[in-house]
Amino acid sequence: MTPSEIQSIKQRFGIIGNAPALNYAIQVAAQVAPTDMTVMISGESGSGKESFSKIIHALSPRKHGQFIAINCGAIPEGTIDSELFGHEKGSFTGAQEARKGYFEVTNGGTIFLDEIGEMPLGTQARLLRVLENGEFIRVGSSKVQKTDVRVVAASNVNLLDAVREGKFREDLYYRLNTVPITVPPLRERGDDIYLLFRKFATDFAERYRVKPVSLTPDAVLELQRFQFPGNIRQLKNVAEQMSVLETEREIDLRRLRQYLPAEQTSRLPMLVHAAGTATDGAGNTYSERDLLYKVLFDMRRDVTDLKKLVLELAAGQRPQEAQELVRQNSHLFTNLNVAPYEGGRPLRQSTDAGSEYFINPSVDDATDYEDEEQRVEDISHETEEETLSLDAKEKEMIIKALKKHNHKRKYAAHDLGISERTLYRKLKQYDLEQL
């Protein structure tokens, strides 16, 4: 499918964005539409899954038939069979007359079953029969009826996990998952976030007859960094609130943050729970092992940079940085059996009882640096235990940010991706209020 064809579909169905994952999902929907294959659309709540079901129906031979979208989680368990398959008069209390179900009404059309993971197991068995044989039975009847309906399903939960937990039928899962389509969450769509915001701001400006709100450049960056756990639905709510409540039509970073919860913006290290998992501001779950790997990789990169600087210092290339390096990282050098600097050359005697600083006196030319690098390699082992603490890493990041911005807490908080209130709380927590 060409880019122009994808763009035509976007314009027809009001889809905004150019993220590669979004374009691929549209391409798959368009390719499968002419067939009668069952489609499973997966994606987070509010990411726009229903739009893809409409694309599939409108581009299919069933486009002149009826299209019905049903939220399985919104129908009570006691009535969902009646809603989907119909019932006979007197089949249960309140059934004063016979009623057709959605599968009977949409014969020749398409039915979209949203949040299918919420469907009761008994109803799942009935649905499987419809998918396999095109047959169903009304509640309170024994007569088998036929229907020709295409099913498009969607879920915001991992159905394989539901299968393992016994909450979803395995045979139904594989029958529904003939063609999978994954809708990307808003936070993974980059520049699409601001495009959607502008579209919503324009729409609400026309609705409420006001001038559209706009964002300053730093506010745009903050908007794109936000996690948006509610996806497009949450972004639309933010745009509507601003359109109604703001008197100034240009929104700066400070005012934007009033509409974005701080706990969903933070990029500081995640908190590890007792169960061995960690969650970020968006509620995503990671294993403790993955988190530790990330910390160790970051630490190894820092150690590699440090080794490079040490070797440059040994060659006398950057002597002014020597004493500052020793002062800031003395805990890394106390056990290296190396000598201090003076005038860009390594001294041959120790100045610390029982230990020596910097490069070993035997290193007098560049040919010996490889041996010395092998010795410095041990830094990662000596400091690994000391720097594994997440609290220590977080404290270190806060100190670095404060020094970078000359202890201006407002700018340090912005650089860390947290609110000033959160930064003040962290300073108190780590006893850094004097900085």
Task: Name the residue with tokens 């581009």.
Answer: 59
Residue 207 confidence (pLDDT)? 92
Residue 357 confidence (pLDDT)? 42
- pLDDT tens-digit map of 34-87: 999 999 999 998 889 999 999 999 999 999 999 999 999 888 888 899 999 998
Residue 393 confidence (pLDDT)? 80
Q: How many CB atoms lie within 10 A of CB 328?
A: 10
Residue 401 confidence (pLDDT)? 85
* CATH number attached to the domain at 187-260: 1.10.8.60
Residue 378 confidence (pLDDT)? 46
Task: Name the residue with tokens 């809603």.
Answer: 83
Cβ-in-10-Å burial (0-12, 13-18, 19+) of 203 comes to middle
Q: What does the mean pLDDT of the chain come to?
A: 79
Q: Tokens at residue 26, please? A: 């549209």
Residue 321 confidence (pLDDT)? 58
pLDDT at 237 over 80: yes
Please name which of 387, 293, 396 lies closest in space to residue 332, comparing C-alpha atoms. 387
Q: How many CB atoms lie within 10 A of CB 143?
A: 7
Residue 429 confidence (pLDDT)? 83
Q: Are 140 and 101 in contact (CB under 8 A)?
A: no
Residue 201 confidence (pLDDT)? 94
Q: Tokens at residue 94, please? A: 């309140």
CATH number belonging to the domain at 3-184, selected among 3.40.640.10, 3.40.50.300, 3.40.50.450, 3.30.300.30: 3.40.50.300
Q: Are 279 and 273 in contact (CB under 8 A)?
A: yes
Residue 412 confidence (pLDDT)? 84
Please name which of 34, 162, 17, 46 lies closest in space to residue 114, comparing C-alpha atoms. 46
Alpha-carbon distance of 276 to 174, in angstroms, equals 31
- pLDDT tens-digit map of 148-175: 999 999 998 899 999 999 999 999 999 9
- pLDDT tens-digit map of 172-222: 999 999 999 999 999 999 999 999 999 999 999 999 999 999 999 999 999
| Domain 390-429 top-level CATH class | mainly alpha
Domain spans in the chain, listed from the N-terminal domain onward: 3-184, 187-260, 288-386, 390-429
One-letter amino acid for residue 387 of the chain: T
The upper half-sphere exposure of residue 394, i.e. CA atoms within 13 Å in the direction of its Cβ, equals 21
Confidence band, pLDDT 50/70/90 cuts, at residue 312 = low
Please name which of 180, 155, 229 lies closest in space to residue 24, comparing C-alpha atoms. 180
Q: Which residues pair with 67 in a beta bridge?
A: 110
Q: Which residues pair with 112 in a beta bridge?
A: 69, 152
Alpha-carbon distance of 191 to 152, in angstroms, equals 29
Residue 106 confidence (pLDDT)? 93
Residue 431 confidence (pLDDT)? 83
pLDDT-wise least confident of 242-251, 354-363, 392-401, 417-426? 354-363
Alpha-carbon distance of 289 to 278, in angstroms, equals 10
- pLDDT tens-digit map of 325-383: 556 655 555 444 444 444 444 444 444 444 444 444 444 444 444 444 444 444 444 44
Residue 316 confidence (pLDDT)? 63
Please name which of 394, 400, 368 lies closest in space to residue 295, comparing C-alpha atoms. 394
Phi, psi of 426 (to 5 degrees): -65, -40
Do 3-184 and 187-260 share a fold?
Answer: no
The string of DSSP codes covering 27-85 is HHHHHHTTS---EEEE--TTS-HHHHHHHHHHTSTTTTS-EEEEEGGGS-TTTHHHHHH
pLDDT at 269 over 70: no
Residue 94 confidence (pLDDT)? 77
pLDDT-wise least confident of 193-207, 249-263, 283-297, 374-388? 374-388
